[in-house]
Amino acid sequence: MKMLEQFCSAAPAEHGDSKHQQPIMYIVPEELKNMDYNPNEGYEPVAVRLGGPKIYRRRAIQDKESLLKMEGYKWSCVRQLISRHKSLLEPARTLVLLDGCLTSMKRLMPRIRASYSQPAIQENKVAEMMLLDGSFILHRLLKYARLAKKEEAGGSSDQFDKEDDEDWTQVYGRCFVWQFVTRDLLLLENQIPFFVVRELFQQLGNGDEPEELLVTGSLRLFRSLRPQMLHRSPIACDDVHHLLHLFYLSIGLSPSDRRKHSSRRGRRSDELLSEFPQWIPCAKELEEAGVRFRKRKDATSFMDVRFARGVLEIPQLELNDSSESLFRNLIAFEQTYPDTPRDVSTYAVFMDCLITSAEDMRILDLHGVLVSHLNSRRVAWRFFSDVVGQVHWSADNYLLGLMDAVNRYRSLRRHKWRAALVRNYFSNPWVTMSVLAALLLLAFSVVQTFFAVYAYFKPPK
């Protein structure tokens, strides 16, 4: 430990133009922590703490025993990364390699300081902390990048499972710790700058490994948390601020989808903005008004909702125990980072409008739009209501044109009459058969009456 402190204090700092750098690390706004919700439950780590409050020190941190155990595991990650480096063919270079990593962290200190939105950053031991936290993340990303490569080649993941068994033994001795670690890596206040991870990759990589492995490993690591299996264009490391931002980029609307939503607003854009807010009614009311629901397939984002000819197509969304924390932190990211399209916030408010009761939840579940793995149906239908809280949404959002189209469609009476006809007389096969039989009997009666009247006025000669 003393050796590390000596390395940190002796390393030169980087004198770049960092004072004009825009912060990329923010804290959760207090207004998002609503009164009926534990303000720290969705934003505090339970397995591993990274950067965040350790940088700000805005309050005393009493880490749980589980968090302290993970601190020891971070040193194991440093050792494993150093042991895989090709320079260890010369054992004497181990300390040189460690010294190089610490020196690079110290050199990045002005940039690291400028990355945080709070000015009261404590620089003491920050370089060492960045080395440990960055090595922990890098170790996870490289492990999942190898797994993704094996899966792409059709190989087995047995070796990967064996490595995780060893990790469990080192940390807790229980097998569910890593699902909490994955969840913690996507907390807004639990991030470190991605350029720190990239710098350590350059220092500890083998030279022949492309930097894109970091993105590949991230997407594979967070695959179980993604709302649906998506296929997106590659994400450049230069565009990533931190892991939560990378995840946000992976689930966002593609440029082509965004253009389609913008084109739907057309000339009515200014008129709609002047009339806004005009959110849509709940699923039950829409169904009664003749709007049909359908699961949208082949979408590039779970937020890419479409409406055409009375059919509201919504990509399937799966809710699990990590979903609430994930949505809360994605929304908090949108609310804090400047010039970020608030698409997740808009989508969450849109779904909150659709789901106001268990019956609304049943309708969406019936059509495969929403799949809940939560404890109860009540928890599921209140999910978005709890998540949106005091969210500040933009009136000029990507669903503006769609909601206008839905509201105009439901305002036409003929759609309500047709929906009522289908609901009352064609809701099940027996009712349909009864209606058809009645219509057939009516037709026979009309024909019989016609011939009787015809025969009366024009009897056969």
- Percent of the chain's residues with pLDDT above 90: 31
Q: Is the pLDDT of residue 175 over 50?
A: yes
Domain-wise residue ranges, the chain: 2-251, 255-415, 428-461
- Does residue 370 surpass a pLDDT of 80? yes
Higher pLDDT, 270 or 453: 453
Is the pLDDT at 413 greater than 50? The verdict is yes
* pLDDT at residue 80 in the model: 87
How far, in Å, are 295, 348, 361 from residue 313 at the CA level?
A: 6, 16, 16
User: What pLDDT was estimated at residue 9?
Assistant: 46
Q: What is the pLDDT of residue 52?
A: 62
Cα gap 65→225, rounded to integer Å: 25
Whether 101 has a pLDDT exceeding 50, the answer reads: yes
Question: What's residue 58's pLDDT?
Answer: 43
Give every strand in the sheet of 292-296, ordered side by side.
292-296, 311-315, 306-308
- The neighbouring-strand residues paired with 25 are 116
The DSSP H or E segment spanning 202 is helix 194-204
Rounded-to-integer distance, Cα 136 and Cα 100, Å: 17
More confident residue, 278 or 275: 278
The helix (run of H) or strand (run of E) holding residue 372 is strand 370-372
Q: Give residue 432's pLDDT.
A: 62
The pLDDT of residue 329 is 94
Residue of 130, 74, 80, 85 whose CA lies nearest to 105: 130
Averaged over 408-420, what is the pLDDT?
64
Give the span between the Cα atoms of 209 and 206, in whole angstroms.
Answer: 6
pLDDT confidence tier of residue 8, bands split at 50, 70 and 90? very low
pLDDT digits (tens, 9 = 90+) for 143-162: 999 999 888 888 665 555 55
This prediction's pTM: 0.82
pLDDT, one tens digit per residue, over 201-259 is 999 877 778 999 999 999 999 988 876 655 566 899 999 999 999 999 999 888 777 77
* Mean of pLDDT over the chain: 79
Asked whether the beta carbons of 260 and 279 are under 8 A apart, the reply is: no
pLDDT at residue 430 is higher than 80 = no
Higher pLDDT, 71 or 4: 71
Phi, psi for residue 51 in degrees, rounded to 5? 45, -125
Q: In sequence order, what DSSP letters do the residues of 268-325 get, joined into one string?
A: GHHHHHHH-------HHHHHHTT-EEEEEPS-SSTT--EEETTEEEEE-EEE-TTHHH
Q: 134: closest CA among 202, 63, 236?
A: 202
Between CA 348 and CA 396 the distance in angstroms is 15
More reliable by pLDDT, 176 or 52: 176
pLDDT confidence of 6, banded at 50, 70, 90? very low
Residue 353 has pLDDT above 60, yes or no: yes
pLDDT digits (tens, 9 = 90+) for 9-40: 444 445 445 555 788 888 888 888 765 556 66
| pLDDT of 91 strictly over 90 | no
pLDDT at residue 450, rounded to an integer: 74
Amino acid 266: pLDDT: 53
- Report which of residues 404 and 447 the model is more confident about: 404
Cβ 432 vs Cβ 426: under 8 Å: yes
Per-residue pLDDT at 417 exceeds 70 = no
- 386 vs 112: CA distance, rounded Å: 34
pLDDT of 7 > 50? The answer is no
Query: What pLDDT shows up at residue 295?
Result: 95
Higher pLDDT, 457 or 246: 246
